[in-house]
Each structure stands twice: as C-alpha cells, then as structure tokens.
C-alpha cells in the first residue's frame, strides 16, 4: 500500500464546476461549500464519520435544480475515492455499519470490490418527493450513492430499517455509509497484497 492515499480532482461542465480534495487517512477534517446547504451538511457528516479529510468547492445551475450539482459532486467524490485507493493493497476491503438517528435506523455494507453495484432499499413511500431543507429532494440521496458507487467501483448495500423524518433518514444513510466505508478502506496489517483470491480488485 502506498503511504499517501490522496486525490485532487476537478470537473467542469456546462452545468457545474467542482474542485475536490480528499485524504483517506485523515481525521475527518472538512471544508465544504457546494452551494447546496443540505448537501454541505451531509458531506460534513460523511467526512466526520468516515475520517476522510474532504475539501469541496462547487457551484452549478442550482437556479434550475440542485440535481446537476449534487450528482456531479457524487461522481467526482467516487472517482477521487477510487484514485486514492490505488491498487487496494493491504485494505480491509469489507465494512458494515448500523447507525441510528433518533427514530431512523440504517444499515450500510461496503465491499471495495472493483464491481460497481448498489442495492438501496427501505426509504418510506414519498421520501423521494420530500424537499429536505426546502431545496434538497429526497430522491437525490439515492442519486448520490449511485454516483459514488459506480465511479469508485464499490459494491454497496444501504437499507433503511426504520424512520419517519426525512432529514433523519437521509443523515443516517450518509453516516452509515461513511462508517462502513471507513472500515472497508482501512489498512489491515494482517493483509498481504490484494485482499482477493483473484489477486486483483
């Protein structure tokens, strides 16, 4: 495993402008300004609970909708995680977490598999239509995880086991994913080389 697991990526489109830095071996320090306040809150929780240092500067056509900016940040975040992981030598590979937030309860399981696959279930009916904070549609939660999962080549299972308040459900999802990812990317001193019988991930 390389000693420095960091990434710095920029992405410019007609819909958004993103500059993102991360360090997988950080302390959860973050400096996040996405122009979407609730997403700032979710990414701050993600950094804090994954212990990934994360800096994000983003802007986009949020006067139309937050969709483009939020999804594009998910794309860049996924690519940055994948880049920082390198050849994945010496990592734990698997992680799982069960996280409550008041009445909400979410389980997340992560495999740094090299195979993009998301299983996402359990959000209550109508969650996807709810405006959280008045601007962040509940449907965007799944979009973010789809973007990260695909571009970091992770297998991720996120299951909402309970919850009523959309803010609590969304936040528990991000925290559970963060905790599971933290375990999965962590170095394991007992692992020699790539943690796969195939010899590659």
Output the pLDDT for position 134.
87
Give the pLDDT confidence of 39-64 residue by residue, as tens digits. Answer: 999 999 999 999 999 999 999 999 98
Report the C-alpha gap between 62 and 74 in whole angstroms. Answer: 15
Report the C-alpha gap between 41 and 144 in whole angstroms. Answer: 14
Q: Which domains does the chain have, with CATH numbers?
A: 6-185 (3.30.230.40)
Provide the whole-model pTM.
0.96
When pLDDT is cut at 50, 70 and 90, the band that residue 69 belongs to is: very high
Report the C-alpha gap between 96 and 11 in whole angstroms. Answer: 30
Report the C-alpha gap between 123 and 167 in whole angstroms. Answer: 12
Strand order in the sheet with 6-12: 6-12, 16-23, 53-60, 30-33
Output the pLDDT for position 199.
83
* % of the chain with per-residue pLDDT over 90: 92
Contacts of 105 (CB under 8 A, 6+ apart): 98, 99, 160, 161, 162, 163, 172
Give the pLDDT confidence of 9-39 residue by residue, as tens digits. Answer: 999 999 999 999 999 999 999 999 999 999 9
Rounded mean pLDDT of 180-187?
98
Output the pLDDT for position 2.
46
* Average pLDDT for the chain: 96
Output the pLDDT for position 197.
87
Rounded mean pLDDT of 160-175?
98
Give the pLDDT confidence of 84-104 residue by residue, as tens digits. Answer: 999 999 999 999 999 999 999
Rounded mean pLDDT of 104-111?
98
Output the pLDDT for position 55.
98
């Amino acid at each position: 495993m390389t000693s420095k697991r960091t990434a710095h990526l920029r992405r410019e489109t007609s819909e958004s402008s993103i500059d993102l830095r991360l360090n997988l071996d950080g302390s959860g320090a973050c400096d996040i300004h996405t122009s979407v306040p609730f997403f700032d809150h979710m990414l701050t929780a993600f950094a804090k609970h994954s212990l990934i240092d994360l800096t994000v500067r983003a802007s986009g056509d949020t006067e139309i909708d937050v969709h483009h900016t939020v999804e594009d940040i998910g794309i860049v975040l996924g690519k940055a995680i994948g880049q920082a992981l390198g050849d994945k030598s010496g990592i734990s590979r698997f992680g799982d977490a069960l996280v409550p937030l008041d009445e909400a309860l979410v389980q997340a399981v992560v495999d740094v598999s090299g195979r993009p696959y998301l299983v996402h279930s359990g959000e209550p009916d109508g969650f996807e239509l709810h405006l959280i904070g008045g601007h962040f549609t509940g449907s965007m939660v799944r979009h973010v995880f789809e973007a990260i999962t695909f571009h970091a080549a992770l297998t991720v299972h996120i299951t909402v086991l309970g919850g009523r308040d959309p803010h609590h459900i969304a936040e528990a999802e991000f925290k559970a994913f963060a905790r599971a990812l933290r375990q999965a990317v962590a170095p394991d001193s007992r692992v020699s080389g790539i943690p796969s019988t195939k010899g590659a991930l």
